[in-house]
Amino acid sequence: MSGHLKFSRRSMTAALLALAASAHGGLAQAQERKPIETVRIGYQKSSTLTAILKTNGELEKALVPLGVRVTWHEFANGLPLLESLNVGNLDISADVADTVPIFAQAAGAKLAFIAEEAASPAAQAILVAASSPVKSLAELKGKRVAVAKGAGSHYLLLAALKKSGLSFKDISPAYLAPADGRAAFVNNSVDAWVAWDPFLTSTQQQTGARVLADGSNGLASYKRYYLASEAFVERRSDVLNVIFDKLQETGRWVKAQPKEAAALLAELWSIDAATVEEANSHRSYAVDAVTRDKLSEQQSIADAFFAEKLIPVRVDTASVKIWAVPAP
C-alpha cells in the first residue's frame, strides 16, 4: 500500500512538472508569436549620437522590453530625410540642422519636435584660404562663395552678410554639397566656403584655412533637432522616452570620453581620430527637451529664407507640434 502511495506521489509530481513545462513552452510560443513592432529611424552619416547608438546596439537593447526592434535608414542630407518622414516611410529622424524643419513646415509636413541639441555656434563657419586676401566679411562682395543650399550654413552666410551690410545679391553663390564644396575650395574654384563639422575642422587642419566668421556673437546658434511623425508621437510616447534617454546618455558620454568617442567615430567617418576629437569639441551634444521659447531663432531663419524665396510661404514656427518629455 505504501509502495502504491509512493508511486502515486511520484506520478503526480512528474505530471505537475510536465504541466508546468508545457505551460512555460506555450507562454514562450505565445510571446514569440506576439507581433514585434518596428521603429524606422532615418539618419545621416554625420548624425553623431545616432551613429554611435546604431554601432553599439544600446538603443536596440533598451527597446527589447517594449517589443520594439529598430531598422536604420541612411540619407545623404536632411531634406530628403524629413521628406521620407513626412510621407510615412520613417518614424523618427536623427538630428538635422535648424534650417531643415523650416522646409518641412513650409511643405505642411505633419512632424513633431522630440529633442534638441543645444547651440553649437563654432561648429560651422565661413572659411577662406590661408593665402586669401579676404580679411573681413565685407570683402566677400563680388566673391564666389560655396554653400549647401538650405543648410544651417546657408543661414549663417545670410546672417553674416547682413551684419556686414551686404545682401545675398552682393556675392556669387555656388550651391554645392559638402564634398563638392570642399573640392571647389581646395582647388581655389571658390573664394570662400561655408562648412560645418567634421568637414570644417578637417579642412582647416589639412589646408590651414582661416575662419572668416563662425556663428558666435549671436550670428547663428546652430542647433540640431530630432523629429518624429505626428502619428508616431501620438502612438508610442514610451518608445520616444527610451530614445530620448539614450540620446542624453550618449551625448554625455561623448563629452566625458572624448578620445574613446573620437576613435569610434573616426572609423565610421574615415577621418583621423584627432580631427574628430577637435570637431566634437565644437559641438554641445547636450540633448534636451524642446520648448517653444527655445525655438525663437527658428522664426528668424524662416523669415530670412522666405525673403530669399527659398521657401514659398511664410512659416509660423511657433505652430509646430512638440512632444512633451514625461516628468521624471
Instruction: Return the C-alpha cell found at 110.
Output: 505633419
Label each residue of 44-100 as H, E or C.
ECCCHHHHHHHHHCHHHHHHHHHCEEEEEEEECCHHHHHHHHHCCCCCEEEEEECCH
DSSP 324: P
> Is 317 among the domain residues?
no
pLDDT on residue 328: 66
Please, which residues have CB within 8 angstroms of residue 327's CB and are 6 or more apart in sequence?
Answer: none
Q: Which domain holds residue 68?
A: 37-119+223-301
- 16-27 mean pLDDT: 46
Q: Verify that 133 and 207 share a domain, yes or no.
A: yes
Please, which residues have CB within 8 angstroms of residue 219's CB and are 6 or more apart in sequence?
Answer: 121, 156, 159, 160, 163, 213
Q: Verify that 189 and 228 share a domain, yes or no.
A: no
Q: Residue count of the chain, please give it.
A: 328
- 298-313 mean pLDDT: 94
User: Backbone dihedral region of 165: left (phi > 0), alpha (psi from -120 to 50 degrees) or beta?
Assistant: left
Give pLDDT tens digits for 31-60: 444 457 999 999 988 899 999 999 999 999
Q: Give the highest mean pLDDT range of 11-20, 99-108, 254-263.
A: 254-263
* Rounded Cα gap, residues 26 and 39, in angstroms: 27
Percent pLDDT > 90 in the chain is 76
Per-residue pLDDT band for 221 (boundaries 50, 70, 90) equals: very high
Q: Verify that 127 and 202 share a domain, yes or no.
A: yes
* Rounded Cα gap, residues 209 and 128, in angstroms: 6
Least confident span in 25-29, 136-140, 232-236, 254-258: 25-29
DSSP 312: S
Q: Verify that 182 and 294 share a domain, yes or no.
A: no
* Rounded Cα gap, residues 12 and 92, in angstroms: 54
Percent pLDDT > 70 in the chain is 89
- What residue type is 292 in one-letter code? R
- Model-wide pTM > 0.75: yes
Per-residue pLDDT band for 5 (boundaries 50, 70, 90) equals: very low
In the listed set 214, 234, 255, which residue is the last one of a domain according to the structure? 214
Count of structural domains within the chain: 2
Give pLDDT tens digits for 133-166: 999 999 999 999 999 998 999 999 999 999 999 9
Kindly report the average pLDDT of the chain as a whole number: 89
> Is 61 among the domain residues?
yes
Per-residue pLDDT band for 325 (boundaries 50, 70, 90) equals: confident
Looking at residue 102, which CATH number applies to its domain?
3.40.190.10
In the listed set 214, 241, 275, which residue is the last one of a domain according to the structure? 214
* Rounded Cα gap, residues 129 and 106, in angstroms: 36
- 300-316 mean pLDDT: 94
Contact 75, 42 (CB under 8 A): yes
DSSP 285: -
Helix (H, G, I), strand (E, B) or coil at 117: strand
Give pLDDT tens digits for 59-97: 999 999 999 999 999 988 788 888 889 899 999 999 999
Please, which residues have CB within 8 angstroms of residue 42's CB and are 6 or more apart in sequence?
Answer: 73, 74, 75, 81, 84, 85, 90, 92, 93, 94
* Rounded Cα gap, residues 62 and 46, in angstroms: 23
> Is 11 among the domain residues?
no
Give the sign of the dihedral formed by CA 80, CA 86, CA 88, CA 93.
Answer: positive
- 279-302 mean pLDDT: 94
Whose cell is 527658428? That residue is 298
> Is 308 among the domain residues?
no
DSSP 309: T
> Is 15 among the domain residues?
no
> Is 232 among the domain residues?
yes
Per-residue pLDDT band for 30 (boundaries 50, 70, 90) equals: very low
pLDDT on residue 35: 55
pLDDT on residue 193: 98
Q: Verify that 142 and 207 share a domain, yes or no.
A: yes
Omega before residue 198 within 30° of 0, cis: yes
* Rounded Cα gap, residues 74 and 40, in angstroms: 11
Q: Verify that 209 and 240 share a domain, yes or no.
A: no
Residue 99 has pLDDT above 50, yes or no: yes
> Is 20 among the domain residues?
no
* Rounded Cα gap, residues 302 and 155, in angstroms: 10
| Other residues' Cβ atoms within 10 Å of the Cβ of residue 194 | 29
Q: Verify that 258 and 144 share a domain, yes or no.
A: no
| Other residues' Cβ atoms within 10 Å of the Cβ of residue 134 | 17
